Amino acid sequence: MNKKVAFYTLGCKLNFSETSTIARNFNDEGFDRVDFSEKADIYVINTCSVTENADKRFKTIVKQAQKANPEAFVAAVGCYAQLKPQELADVNGVDLVLGATEKFKITDYLNDLTKNDLGEVHSCEIEDADFYVGSYSIGDRTRAFLKVQDGCDYKCTYCTIPLARGISRSDTMDNVLKNAHDISKQNIKEIVLTGVNIGDYGKGEFGNKKHEHTFLDLVTELDKVEGIERLRISSIEPNLLKNETIDLVSKSRAFVPHFHIPLQSGSNEILKKMKRRYMRELYVDRVAKIKEVMPHACIGVDVIVGFPGETDEHFLETYNFLTELDISYLHVFTYSERDNTEAAEMDGVVPSNVRSKRSKMLRGLSVKKRRAFYENQLGTSRTVLFESENKEGYIHGFTENYVKVKAPWNPELINTLHQVELTKIDDDGIVRFEFLKVLSN
């Protein structure tokens, strides 16, 4: 009987792509992958450090694993494992903690799956995380997350990612294209490009700061890969999203009109305190350029509330700025203090009840923005890729410009592309449609 392994991923798309790659390594070693709720011999938890909540959830997930099999070996990898390895190792039931450079070699550490009295830590100095490991997720969804870049050279005052993932470095162009070809052979219709700072692609392509290629080169070449119906850029910094890239997407064969662009604050004063690399005026220019060449494009925005020194006036500046912008939805993050960041030492701490209130206001604005965007799309013809889950008797899918749609459950629709006309918004805020024609089975 083969040993069984189960995975739990916290955090971002990048983590999902890396979990998938680690899972394939286990597969190569003769392990069978099972669901996290099932009994396994080893449970691997890929951790995140972006929000306080992810830290707290870790203990709950370890308990889940122990409940499924009290004798199982539990390993923690990922960003939180790099930042606070000993803290994770001290959690009851954890046997192994691997940092940024060790996680892809996890099977080398598993000679003996006997439970440890104390969690064993193998964690490098983050300066040693200077090599690149390519990865992509496959088999978990109707889309694949393709990692093209890792690490970050930015020094935003609230962020621990450079401490958790090291310097900015990229996959080689050849390897990205090879991975994209491999994915295309699996009948996966959509690839989402992912990384920590993907607009920085090219840097560190040869293990040093030299590089031949830019993000524009990357998207130009990926657009030529046959067999991939859709390519989506996950999240890109406004200062790195160039007009040439926006133009390419607007004329592209496969890239879809959907951008997710972190803003973080609509106040220039707060942006400076955050050490972001742009002012709000640049953000306005980016949104205007996208809408000029792709009026139907979906634009998502990351924003942080409650940053130290954010007064009511600063917050209203952000709220009003976002109200005026032609955007489609918000991802709202409530600021939480992270150890070893500049912001954690700053004056002007915003009380937690004020942070919550501001977060609620922006989430309400996001609902209005999404509704307005969906209403604007009614009556248009769009392409839908259907997902694989049965949710209360419905199948869901997304248009190329990220409108969520639903239809009565029909398993034959899974992972197929259809041209549809968007007709009305249901009570739950999801869009109904009429089929026009099948584009791809």
The CATH number of 257-376 is 3.30.750.200
Residue 251's pLDDT is 97
- Asked whether 264 and 274 are in contact (CB, 8 A), the reply is yes
When pLDDT is averaged across residues 152-181 and rounded to a whole number, the result is 92
Greater confidence (359 vs 203) lies with 359
Nearest to 415, CA basis, from 391, 392, 393, 439: 439
142 pLDDT tier (thresholds 50, 70, 90): confident
116 pLDDT tier (thresholds 50, 70, 90): low
Residue 141's pLDDT is 66
109 pLDDT tier (thresholds 50, 70, 90): confident
- DSSP reduced 3-state for 232: strand
Distance, first Cα to last Cα, the chain = 36
140 has a pLDDT exceeding 80: no
241 DSSP assignment: -
- Asked whether 307 and 335 are in contact (CB, 8 A), the reply is yes
pLDDT in tens, 22-48: 999 999 999 999 999 999 999 999 998
Number of neighbours of residue 179 by Cβ within 10 angstroms: 23
Residue 419's pLDDT is 97
pLDDT in tens, 358-386: 999 999 999 999 999 999 999 999 999 99
| Of the ranges 112-126, 138-152, 208-222, 306-320, the best mean pLDDT one | 306-320
Kindly report, as residue ranges, where domains of CATH 3.40.50.12160 are found in the chain: 4-128
Interhelix angle 243-251/215-222, nearest 10 degrees:
10
- DSSP reduced 3-state for 369: helix
Which string of DSSP letters, residue by residue, matches 283-347? HHHHHHHHHHH-TT-EEEEEEEES-TT--HHHHHHHHHHHHHS---EEEEEE----TT-SGGG-S
127 has a pLDDT exceeding 90: no
| Of the ranges 187-196, 227-236, 264-273, the best mean pLDDT one | 264-273
The topology under which CATH files domain 4-128 is Rossmann fold (3.40.50)
When pLDDT is averaged across residues 219-227 and rounded to a whole number, the result is 94
When pLDDT is averaged across residues 239-249 and rounded to a whole number, the result is 97
Which string of DSSP letters, residue by residue, matches 260-290? EEEEE-S-HHHHHHHT-SS-HHHHHHHHHHH
Residue 12's pLDDT is 81
Q: Which of 170-174, 253-257, 276-280 has the lowest mean pLDDT?
A: 170-174
Residue 14's pLDDT is 87
In the structure encoding, which two tokens stand for residue 51, read together?
Answer: 């929000």
The topology under which CATH files domain 380-435 is OB fold (Dihydrolipoamide Acetyltransferase, E2P) (2.40.50)
| Of the ranges 87-96, 126-135, 397-406, the best mean pLDDT one | 397-406
Residue 136's pLDDT is 82
4 has a pLDDT exceeding 70: yes
349 DSSP assignment: P
When pLDDT is averaged across residues 98-118 and rounded to a whole number, the result is 78
When pLDDT is averaged across residues 323-351 and rounded to a whole number, the result is 95
Residue 212's pLDDT is 82
Strand pairing partners for 264?
Answer: 303
Number of neighbours of residue 35 by Cβ within 10 angstroms: 11
Task: Decide: residue 348, CB within 10 A, 0-12 exposed, 13-18 middle, 19+ buried.
Answer: exposed
Return the sign of the alpha-carbon dihedral for residues 316, 318, 321, 322: negative
Nearest to 329, CA basis, from 282, 294, 376: 376
| Of the ranges 11-20, 199-208, 260-269, the best mean pLDDT one | 260-269
Task: Please give the mean pLDDT across all residues of the chain.
Answer: 91
- CATH 3.30.470.20 given to domain 130-256: no
- DSSP reduced 3-state for 412: helix
Residue 246's pLDDT is 98
441 pLDDT tier (thresholds 50, 70, 90): confident
Residue 126's pLDDT is 60
For Cα atoms 424, 429, 430, give the angle at the middle one, nearest 5 degrees: 65
Kindly report, as residue ranges, where domains of CATH 2.40.50 are found in the chain: 380-435
Kindly report, as residue ranges, where domains of CATH 3.30.750.200 are found in the chain: 257-376
Answering whether pTM is above 0.85, one says yes
